[in-house]
Amino acid sequence: MSTLKRLIKRKIALFSFIVILLIVSAAIFAPLIAPYDPSKQFTEGLTLQGAPLPPSSQFPIGTDLLGRDLLSRLIYGARTSLFIGLLANGFAVVLGTFIGIVAGFLRGRTGSIIMRFTDLMMAFPALLLAITLAAIFSPSLFIVALVIAMVNWVQIARVIYTQTISISEKEFIEAARSLGATNSRILRKHILPHLAPIVMVWATLGISTTVLLEATLSFLGIGVRPPTPSWGNIIFENQTYFSSAPWLVFIPGFAIILLALAFNFLGDALRDELDPTQRGRR
């Protein structure tokens, strides 16, 4: 509770939270908010030469290369981008946390084998791996999320691993053992509660990474497939018009940055509040 209050006092964190809330509601209530069907091609949506229209009263931020309403595509695109961001990050956080805890709690041979494997994953050129995987598997939303998660779990696993080890070495863990607590009780009652804030920080920061990665893959044309709109593939589709109709690229671009920025700010503020090892560094 006090953490929440302190977060509200940080203006940037509060502002970021509101931005996230707005984007999330836009995504959830897309059918109610969006002025048009995002895939409807308007015959009056293009100039006579076949170029996209600039903002007007009918199309508030103009139309795209096929004469579709950009605002509607943007609002529906928020769904895709957020969905993939959350799903991929969810996978990554669950996998990373699980592996980190297992390796940190078991230690010994199992732990070190797992950690050597994360060393190996760390040496992988992450984006190259993601691009290769995405290009090769014909991407569905689910696969894109999975590919992004494959790239992102490693760092979380390493953070959780070192944290688990440092908590396991605390005397209150030995105390619990001396009371006769089972491993599973020690894990549930004494280790997880201490890991929770760290997981929360990484879960928040991670969304920003996954949203950016989705956008990048979609921009390269190997992420979310059109006609399903995502912020990355709106830019991908319209990039040929970027000099004559720059809003087609910069409005979705701005949306991507705004979302990533909001999660970054929020995660950073959370870390300041929740992660005592980082406290006082600002």
Under the criterion CB under 8 A, does residue 273 sit at the interface with another protein?
A: no
Binding mask of the shown chain, residues 69 to 108, with x at each position contacting another protein by CB under 8 A: ----------------------------------------
With CB under 8 A as the contact rule, the residue among 22, 193, 240, 277 that binds another protein is 193
With CB under 8 A as the contact rule, the residue among 8, 18, 22, 120 that binds another protein is 120
Nearer to another protein, 141 or 262 (CB): 262
Under the criterion CB under 8 A, does residue 133 sit at the interface with another protein?
A: yes
Provide, rounded to whole angstroms, the least separation between the CB of residue 261 and another protein: 4
Q: By the 8 A CB rule, do 218 and 230 touch?
A: yes
Provide, rounded to whole angstroms, the least separation between the CB of residue 58 and another protein: 26
How far does Cα 171 stand from its chain's mean position? 36
**104-to-24, 95, 195 alpha-carbon distances in Å:** 35, 14, 12
Nearer to another protein, 35 or 196 (CB): 196
Q: Which residues contact 273 (CB under 8 A, 6 or more apart)?
A: 3, 6, 7
Nearer to another protein, 4 or 123 (CB): 123
Q: Which residues contact 22 (CB under 8 A, 6 or more apart)?
A: none
Query: Contact residues for another protein (CB under 8 A)?
Result: 12, 119-120, 122-129, 131-133, 135-138, 170-172, 174-182, 185, 189-190, 193-194, 208, 212, 215-216, 219-220, 235, 239, 242-243, 246, 249-250, 253, 256-257, 260-261, 264-265, 268, 281-282
